Structure 1
Amino acid sequence: MLKNSADRFGLISRLLHWGIAGLVVVMLSLGLRLSDMEPGLANLWLYGLHKSLGILTLSLMLARILWHLYTPPPRPMGGGRQAIMARTAHLAIYALLLAIPLSGWIGSAATGLDVVIFDRWTLPAIAPISPLWEETAFTLHDALTKVLIALLFLHMGAALKREMDGDGTLRRMVLGRARD
């Protein structure tokens, strides 16, 4: 089953979820490593990889949003405050996974250097060449990433707790359904 239903996640939603999750883990690891480095010729390829994976993450998030408009995801399991918190957390994660790559793209464009993706495609500059734009965008990129890390720990912890409580939330995101 590719599409979502009222109580199941379809294969496309699950592949997008776990693919983006994997990319985010790689991006966070790479970003933390890059924050400890001075840019130089020996490590320039790592910056290019980070930018490329960031644009891929942004693209997959846009695809995920379009997919969810086409085939809405099932409602959060349970109800009340827990469901409201789950929806709010998901919306915040979605917003951050759009804002973080965009702020990185803006900061990179503001340096005046071309933003080249996978050593193949040059993206248009979406900001003027400006030290102020560069500093502001990268400061925002860093701050939003820290918020994302905290929110992802909360998200993973809630999913694990709910699974240990036996409600099937995590199982539904892995297998598409909460119960056999």
Structure 2
Amino acid sequence: MTWRNTPDSFGLFTRVIHWTMALAIIGMLALGTRLANMQPGLSNLWLYSLHKSIGLILLTLVVIRLVWHRISPPPTPQGDPSAALQRLARATHWLIYALLVAIPLSGWIASSASGIDVMFFDRWVIPPVAPVSEAWENAGWAAHRILTKVLMAVILLHIAGALKRQIEGDGTLTRMWRGTR
């Protein structure tokens, strides 16, 4: 079992970071939905802190993933996907990466603009990235909400594409799970 991707298979590092991020994203979407529907209070501030901390971890993981993508390019597509499907898959992946950078940044901007410290697991203060400003805060939260909805749609497209390719027998999903067909 190799750490790096090969022309025919996903390496262990790629698969571990993919599934770790997938689980974290699902958890963040569930937690974020819950937070959006509750009133902030002393009894639930820890949930906001948890959401911010995991968001910062996801931001770090996507940067690591992008660097790794340059070091160890993904394998070539299996089967015979059309050029249009290959472009759609590539665009979907890059849109997911862009959203996974933009969403945590918009949350960080909004939190910074609120004047409330962004804490990493209630232990370390993360420097603010925006001035304290109601306009910045509102814009940051609006972007955070909208981009999250876009991410949900793009993830569904990503899952549908992976399932379609798996059903057609090219083994894409199996390769991401086990590394090889």
TM-score bracket, normalised by the shorter chain, equals: over 0.9
Q: Which residue of 1 aligns with 2:29?
A: 28
Contact 1:76 1:87 in 2 (8 A): no
The question of 1:118 aligning with 2:92 is answered no
Alpha-carbon shift at residue 75 of structure 1 (Å): 2.9
CA distance in structure 1 between the aligned counterparts of 2:165 and 2:70, rounded to whole angstroms: 26
Q: Equivalent residues in 2 for 1:30-179 (5 A)?
A: 30-77=31-78, 78-79=80-81, 80-178=83-181
Mark the runs of 5 or more structure 2 residues left unpaired by the alignment: none
Contact 1:114 1:122 in 2 (8 A): yes
> Letter of the aligned partner of 1:66 in structure 2?
V
CA distance in structure 1 between the aligned counterparts of 2:125 and 2:9, rounded to whole angstroms: 39
CA distance in structure 1 between the aligned counterparts of 2:67 and 2:86, rounded to whole angstroms: 22
Secondary structure of the residue aligned to 1:9 is coil
CA distance in structure 2 between the aligned counterparts of 1:17 and 1:153, rounded to whole angstroms: 15
CA distance in structure 2 between the aligned counterparts of 1:110 and 1:75, rounded to whole angstroms: 44
The question of 1:18 aligning with 2:41 is answered no
CA distance in structure 2 between the aligned counterparts of 1:121 and 1:6, rounded to whole angstroms: 41
> Letter of the aligned partner of 2:156 in structure 1?
F
Structure 2-normalised TM-score?
0.96
Alpha-carbon shift at residue 119 of structure 1 (Å): 1.3
Q: 1:123-170, CA deviations, whole angstroms, 9 ceiling, x for partnerless residues? A: 111000000000001100000000000111111111111111111010
Q: Which moved more, 1:69-78 or 1:149-158?
A: 69-78
Say how many residue pairs are matched: 178
Q: Equivalent residues in 2 for 1:2-17 (5 A)?
A: 2-17=3-18
Secondary structure of the residue aligned to 2:8 is coil
Mark the runs of 5 or more structure 1 residues left unpaired by the alignment: none
Moved beyond 2 Å, runs of 4+: 75-79
Q: Which moved more, 1:53-62 or 1:73-82?
A: 73-82
CA distance in structure 2 between the aligned counterparts of 1:113 and 1:82, rounded to whole angstroms: 44
Structure 1-normalised TM-score?
0.96
RMSD: 0.9
Secondary structure of the residue aligned to 1:122 is strand
